[in-house]
Amino acid sequence: MKIIKTNGFYYLSYSFRKKGSVVNRKKYLGKKIPVNVEEIKQTFLEQCFKEELFGKLKQIKKKCAEEWKKLPESIKKERLVDFSIDFTYNTNAIEGSSLTKEDTESILKRKIAPAKPYRDIQETIHHSKVFFTVLQEKKKLTGKLLLQWHNSLFSETKPDIAGVYREYLVRVGDYRAPDWQDVPKLMRELFLLYEKNKKTMHPIELAALMHYEFEKIHPFGDGNGRVGRLIINYILYKNKYPMFAILYKKRQAYYRALGKKRLDFLQYFIRVYLSSYKEYLE
C-alpha cells in the first residue's frame, strides 16, 4: 500500500491480483493527509485484503464440498480419522508433547501405545475424542461448552485445572495475560462478540478472530492453545468449510502472528489456510 498524489489530492493505493488480472483500489484522503491516516490505512487494507482473498476461500469451499460429496461413507470416516490424527499430533506437539506423528497414528488407529510418557498418550486419546465430539456438537459456542471441552481434555492428566478458569496470573513468553479476576467478564464479552458476528462475518475471519481473542484472554491454567484450535475447527466445520491444522513445524510463524495486531493475525491465518488447500485453487 502507498500514498499517491494526483492533481493536488492524496489517495491510498493498493494493488492485488484477482482472477489473473491486476486490480487497483484507491481511497480518497483529501488535499492534506489526515492526522488519523494510519487508522484509515488499517481499515482500507482490511477491506482490500478481504476482497483479494475471500473469493479464493469460496472456491476452496466449493471444490472441497464437491469432492466430499462423491466419497463413500466408509472413506469419509477414514478421512476424518486421518485428519484427527494430523490435527491431534500437531496441536499437542505445539504444546510440548513428545509423541511423533507415527506415535499418534499408532495410538489412534491401532490402539498401540508407544513407550512414551503416560500423560502424552492420554492427552492424545482424549484430544481425539473431544475433536469428534466437536464435530457432532449441537450446542452453540459458549464459555460453558469450552469448560466441558477443557475438562474432557485434562480431567485425567491435570484434574486440578480441568474444566475451570484460572485463578492466578500467567505469562506466555513476554505476554502477560489479563488479571484472572477479569477472565469471567472477558469470556462473556468474547461470546457476545461471537454472537454479534457469527451471521455477518466470513467464517474464516470469524474463526481467526475468536482464536486470536481467546488466546489473548488465556482463560485456563494450561491447554489454551488446544482449546483455541478446537474453536477454529468448530467454526469451520459448522460453516461447511474444510478444517485445517496449524503445523508444529511452522509454530514459530504462528507464535509471531499471535503476538501482532488482529489484522496481522487475520492475514497470517488466511494465507496459511489458503496454502493448506492450494491444490483447490486455479
Residues 92-128: pLDDT tens digits?
Answer: 999 999 999 999 999 999 999 999 999 999 999 999 9
More confident residue, 25 or 170: 170
Nearest to 92, CA basis, from 160, 153, 171, 164: 153
- The catalytic residues are 218
Q: 145 pLDDT exceeds 90?
A: yes
With left for phi above 0 and alpha for psi between -120 and 50, is residue 141 left, alpha or beta? beta
Query: 241 near 168, Cβ under 8 Å?
Result: no
Which residues, 6+ apart, have CB-to-CB distance to 247 below 8 Å?
90
| CATH code, 71-280 | 1.10.3290.10
- What value does the mean pLDDT take over residues 260-281? 92
Question: Per-residue pLDDT averaged across 197-212, rounded?
Answer: 95
The yes-or-no verdict on residue 19 having pLDDT over 70 is no
Residue 216 above 70 pLDDT? yes
Give the pLDDT score at 78.
96
Per-residue pLDDT at 49:
75
Residue 18 has pLDDT above 80, yes or no: no
pLDDT band at 282 (very low <50, low <70, confident <90, very high): low
pLDDT at 93: 98
Mean per-residue pLDDT, 177-198: 97
Grid coordinates representing 201?
Answer: 462475518
Average pLDDT over residues 44-54: 79
Describe the crossing of helices 203-217 and 262-276 by its angle, rounded to 10 degrees: 130
> Which amino acid makes up residue 83?
F
User: Pseudo-torsion of CA 108, 114, 120, 122, nearest 10°?
Assistant: 50
Identify the pLDDT of residue 38: 85
pLDDT at 1 over 80: no
- Mean pLDDT, all residues of the chain: 93
* 3-class DSSP assignment, residue 145: helix
CA angle (261, 262, 268) in 5-degree steps: 95
Which pLDDT belongs to residue 235?
Answer: 97
d(CA 162, CA 165): 9
Percent of the chain with pLDDT over 90: 76
Query: What pLDDT, on the 0 to 100 scale, is given for residue 22?
Result: 80
How confident is residue 147, by pLDDT bands cut at 50, 70 and 90? Answer: very high
Q: Which residue has the cell 505469562?
A: 171
Q: Are 66 and 242 in contact (CB under 8 A)?
A: no
Residue of 172 and 86 predicted with greater confidence = 86
Taking the C-alpha atoms of residue 3 and residue 14, their distance in angstroms, rounded to an integer, is: 9
The model's confidence at residue 4, banded by pLDDT at 50, 70 and 90, is confident
Q: Give me the mean pLDDT over the 227-237 stretch.
A: 97
